[in-house]
């Protein structure tokens, strides 16, 4: 048991060193961090906390511990958290702290409760605790992108209606962002972020491109490119929005048809493994039992 705790302590020390070496990466990524942190706003950014759980206060020990090794959080973690919608400065410290505490907690639980193959389960718990936050973050990024992709056609229809009703593009984006707060929160946050950046003095095209960089989604990049081309060449914005919305709906319908076509292939495996054996047992078993009884009487 002493050897186990020694190996566990060395493993945790290596985890600490690896994480904070990653946190202190080069100055090239510092520019990206400055760009991302400059886009942090109080409104529209998701948070870990609630009225019963102050995540910012929880992040203070992690921030102090991180300051012993590096002056700024890991830019890659900040960027990925921003893609998931967590853009406040303390979110990176909370995420890094969870990455450090979770392996130690799972390892301690294994050492206390597991009595057979302890070393194997201990290493497995460390690996699980270290990579679980990244798995959760990847899932959060994918879910947010999917929500924005599904909400974009409806938002463009509303934006086209606002523009045709006489609102300017900037006022239309602000109105659509306010209207979508309940149904499509993620896209509403991005539209409101565009308005905040423009009020802060950022150019219109720059704010649009910042949204495309934050979301990192092909349909959003195409939408921003369409807005940039409309801005430069002076084409009617309402018609461009309607055409682009129709194209997105066609793509969404094609993806649904593709997913429906794949179901026949995906159903082969459960049919062969689970349904066919049950049907065979129900239909053939009585006949087999009858034949065995008949041959038994003859013999």
On whether residue 167 sits in a domain, the answer given is: yes
Shared domain check, 175 and 239:
yes
Domain boundary among 80, 106, 141: 141
Shared domain check, 200 and 257:
yes
Percent of the chain with pLDDT over 90: 3
pTM: 0.67
Q: pLDDT band for position 139 (50/70/90)?
A: very high
Region of poorest pLDDT, from 8-12, 18-22, 146-150: 18-22
Tell me the per-residue pLDDT of 217-256, one tens digit each, with 9 for 90 and over.
888 888 888 888 887 887 788 888 888 888 888 888 888 8
Shared domain check, 136 and 7:
yes
Shared domain check, 10 and 127:
yes
pLDDT value at position 166? 85
4 vs 94: which has the higher pLDDT: 94
On whether residue 194 sits in a domain, the answer given is: yes
Shared domain check, 110 and 15:
yes
Tell me the per-residue pLDDT of 179-223, one tens digit each, with 9 for 90 and over.
988 888 888 988 998 889 888 888 888 888 888 888 888 888 888
Shared domain check, 131 and 159:
no
C-alpha to C-alpha distance for 213 and 193, rounded to whole angstroms = 13
Tell me the per-residue pLDDT of 17-69, one tens digit each, with 9 for 90 and over.
444 433 333 333 334 334 434 443 444 444 444 444 466 666 666 667 666 66
C-alpha to C-alpha distance for 165 and 251, rounded to whole angstroms = 27
C-alpha to C-alpha distance for 255 and 249, rounded to whole angstroms = 10
Shared domain check, 135 and 6:
yes
C-alpha to C-alpha distance for 42 and 58, rounded to whole angstroms = 18
The DSSP string of 262-276 is HHHHHTHHHIIIIIH
Shared domain check, 56 and 104:
yes
Domain count, the chain: 2
* Residue 130 CA neighbour count, 13 Å, CB half: 15
On whether residue 43 sits in a domain, the answer given is: yes
Q: What domain range is 213 assigned to? A: 146-263
Shared domain check, 229 and 253:
yes
Residue 19's SS3 state is helix
On whether residue 40 sits in a domain, the answer given is: yes
Which residue, among 51, 74, 52, has the nearest Cα to 62 in the 3D structure?
74
Residue 147, phi then psi, degrees to nearest 5: -65, -40
pLDDT value at position 55? 63
For residue 158, the 8-state DSSP code is: H
């Amino acid at each position: 048991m002493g050897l186990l705790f020694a190996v566990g302590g060395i493993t945790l020390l290596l985890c600490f060193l690896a994480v904070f070496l990653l946190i202190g990466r080069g100055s090239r990524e510092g520019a990206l961090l400055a760009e991302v942190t400059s886009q942090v706003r109080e409104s529209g950014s998701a948070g870990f906390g609630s009225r019963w759980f102050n995540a910012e206060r929880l992040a203070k020990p992690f921030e102090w511990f991180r300051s012993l090794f590096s002056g700024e959080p890991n830019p890659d973690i900040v960027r990925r958290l921003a893609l998931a919608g967590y853009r406040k400065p303390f979110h990176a410290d909370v995420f890094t702290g969870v990455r450090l505490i979770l392996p130690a907690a799972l390892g301690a639980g294994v050492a206390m409760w597991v009595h057979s193959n302890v070393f194997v389960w201990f290493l497995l718990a460390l690996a699980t605790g270290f990579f679980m936050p990244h798995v959760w973050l990847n899932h959060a990024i994918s879910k947010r992108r999917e929500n924005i992709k599904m909400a974009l056609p409806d938002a463009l229809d509303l934006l086209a209606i606002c523009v045709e009703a006489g609102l300017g593009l900037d006022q239309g984006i602000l109105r659509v962002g306010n209207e979508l707060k309940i149904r499509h929160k993620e896209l509403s946050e991005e539209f409101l972020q565009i308005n905040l950046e423009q009020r802060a003095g950022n150019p219109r095209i720059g704010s649009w491109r910042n949204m495309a960089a934050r979301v990192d989604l092909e349909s959003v990049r195409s939408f921003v490119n369409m807005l940039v081309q409309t801005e430069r060449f002076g084409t009617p914005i309402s018609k461009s929005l309607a055409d682009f919305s129709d194209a997105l709906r066609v793509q969404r319908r094609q993806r649904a048809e593709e997913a429906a076509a794949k179901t026949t292939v995906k159903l082969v495996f459960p049919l062969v493994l689970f349904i066919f054996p049950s049907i065979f047992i129900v239909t053939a078993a009585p006949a087999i039992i009858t034949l065995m009884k008949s041959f038994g009487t003859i013999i």
